[in-house]
Amino acid sequence: MKLLVVGGAGYIGSHTVRQLRAAGHEVVVLDNLTGGHAQALPADVACVRGDLLDAEAVRTVLEAHRPDAIIHFAALIEVGESMGAPGRYYCNNVVGSLNLLDAIVQTRVVPLVFSSTAAVYGTTDNVPIPEDAPLHPESVYGETKLMTERMIQAFHAAHALPFVVLRYFNVCGAAPGGEIGEDHTNKTHLIELACLTALGQREKMMIFGDDYPTPDGTCIRDYVHVQDLADAHVLAVEALERGQMSAATYNVGLGHGFSVREVLGAVDAVIAEEGLPPLPREIAPRRAGDPPRLVADARRIVEDLGFQPQFTDLKEIVRTAWEWHRSHPHGFEG
Ligand code: UDP
């Protein structure tokens, strides 16, 4: 198939481009390169620099490349930032997605895979979280993703747009080999920060709360490896192409969680193999908005799409992240 990957130069997008190509698909990327990195893409993948807020440009790309399906990653993704800059988030994530949907309808209706998030659920006691759990996002970021999900459903109803929505849990790791990985301007993710601390770029790790109602007192999250997540996109787009379904929403996670302490323990074990000492760490206050436990009920994607995560061992997951950060201590630009 020929795929247009919108936001394909970002962390998850670039790993998905690799997996799409490994599965034999042709790829064109549309990215504004504000958060993404052209270096994250194979040299022979066409990368059109353009912004979803430029409706005319989006339509032109669709007309020029006539993809068989579209995967849409492009978004601002920081929960904290979204609370301070709601206008920017609603405009970029919702208006940008609306422009893409309009352009699809104006040119040729082809299947769409959309990058959503577990943040659409908000805090819930219903763990593991099934896809039909109540949707109560607690951040502007989560709200923009839910609004986009709803727009996609409306376009499905009105224009027979086939779609799969993937709701990601905690995405982490890097493609084995250390060529591409996570490189955000603002670093907030646990495993990335732990690797940068091991490299001496941060003084110590802060554990945000050790008094949660969990076995070791720290928060539990469902860490899904970015390459497995990328494979989920390949499965979704191929299932849409086959006509296996025309409207589906899936959680993407492992279905079990690890605590902050367990993650830091795995990082300690990986860096110890190189003779590095355990990460200095300190207990800090809880971070606002962190629920104690977020774990996916991931059965639906396993049953429907045959999703089989390859990275289920926490130390293996961490090792791929470490390989990337150690070989690119300053990310793509370094
Ligand atoms: N966390 C932490 N220290 C850090 C960064 C994160 O204790 O420096 C915790 C955070 O409170 C959460 C978990 O690690 O419980 C995962 O956080 P992350 O930001 O990686 O992902 P999120 O769950 O917010 O999407």
Domain with residue 186: its CATH number is 3.90.25.10
Same domain, 57 and 79: yes
Relative to beta strand 163-168, strand 112-117 is: parallel
Residue 64: per-residue pLDDT: 98
Q: Is the pLDDT of residue 324 over 90?
A: yes
Whether residue 19 lies inside any domain: the answer is yes
Output the CA 286–ligand 1 centroid distance in Å: 10
Question: In this structure, which residue's CA is closest to atom 11 in ligand 1?
Answer: 208
**Structural domain range at position 61:** 2-170+224-252
Query: Residue 124: which pLDDT band, with cuts at 50, 70 and 90?
Result: confident
Q: Name the closest-CA residue to atom 18, ligand 1.
A: 189
- Which CATH number characterizes residue 48's domain? 3.40.50.720
Of ligand 1's atoms, which has the minimum distance to the CA of residue 172?
20
pLDDT surpassing 80 at residue 102: yes
Nearest-atom number in ligand 1 for the CA of 191 is 20
The predicted structure's pLDDT at residue 289: 77
**Taking Cα atoms as reference points, which of 234, 254, 231 lies closest to residue 175?**
231
pLDDT of residue 129: 98
Interval 147-182: pLDDT, tens: 999 999 999 999 999 999 999 999 999 999 999 999
Quick one: what percent of the chain has pLDDT higher than 90? 95
Minimal-distance CA residue to ligand 1 atom 6: 190
The answer on pLDDT for 14 being more than 80 is yes
Q: Which pLDDT score is estimated for 241? A: 97
Where does the pLDDT of residue 312 fall: very low under 50, low under 70, confident under 90, or very high at 90 and above?
A: very high
Between strands 220-221 and 258-259, the pairing is: antiparallel
Mean of the pLDDT values across residues 278-294? 92
What global pTM score does this model have?
A: 0.97
Same structural domain, 268 and 159:
no
Between the alpha carbon of residue 13 and those of residues 7, 23, 294, the distances in Å are: 6, 15, 23
Measured N-to-C along each axis, helices 140-159 and 96-107 cross at an angle, to the nearest 10 degrees, of 20
Interval between CA 287 and ligand 1 midpoint (Å): 8
Same domain for 212 and 146, yes or no, is: no
Q: What is the mean pLDDT of residues 134-151?
A: 96
pLDDT of residue 123: 86
Residue 103 domain-assigned?
yes
Residue 257, pLDDT > 90, answer yes
Which of the residues are catalytic?
A: 141
Any domain includes 140: yes
Mean pLDDT of 282-286: 96
**Number of structural domains found in the chain:** 2
Q: How confident is the model at residue 125 (pLDDT cuts 50, 70, 90)?
A: confident
291: pLDDT confidence band, cut at 50, 70 and 90? Answer: confident
Residue 303 lies in a domain: no
- What mean pLDDT comes out for the span 215-230? 98
Q: Please tell me the predicted confidence (pLDDT) of residue 290.
A: 84
Same domain, 66 and 165: yes
Atom of ligand 1 nearest to the CA of 263: 14
**Ligand 1 atom showing the smallest separation from residue 207 Cα:** 7
- Pick the closest to residue 290 from 219, 191, 224, 223 (CA basis): 219
Mean pLDDT over residues 22-28, rounded?
98
Whether 317 is in a domain gets the answer yes
Residue 302 resides in a domain: no
Same domain, 96 and 186: no
Residue 332 forms part of a structural domain? no
Whose alpha carbon is nearest atom 16 of ligand 1?
190
Do 103 and 165 sit in the same domain of this protein? yes
For residue 188, the CA-to-ligand 1 centroid distance in Å is 7
Q: What pLDDT is attached to residue 80?
A: 86
Q: Are residues 153 and 268 in the same domain?
A: no
Ligand 1, from 190, 191, 220: best to mutate by most atoms within 8 Å of Cβ? 190
* CA 146 to ligand 1 center in whole angstroms: 22
- CA 55 – CA 95 distance, rounded (Å): 10
- Ligand 1: centre distance to CA 244 (Å): 36
pLDDT digits (tens, 9 = 90+) for 51-84: 999 999 999 999 999 999 999 999 999 988 999 9
191, 121: one domain: no
| Percent of the chain surpassing pLDDT 70 | 100
Nearest-atom index, ligand 1, CA of 287: 11
**pLDDT greater than 90 at residue 185:** no
User: Looking at the structure, do residues 69 and 215 belong to the same domain, yes or no?
Assistant: no
Average pLDDT, the chain: 96
Element holding 305 (H helix, E strand): helix 299-305
Q: Are 8 and 108 part of one and the same domain?
A: yes
Q: How many A from CA of 289 to the centre of ligand 1? A: 11
Claim to verify: residue 214 and residue 316 sit in the same structural domain: yes
Same domain, 247 and 260: no
Ligand 1 environment, Cβ below 6 A? 170, 188-190, 193, 205-208, 219, 221, 260, 287, 290
The best mutation among 78, 208, 281, 318 to test binding of ligand 1, ranked by most ligand atoms within 8 Å of the C-beta, falls on: 208
195 occurs within a structural domain: yes
Helices marked H in 190-298 = 190-198, 226-242, 260-272
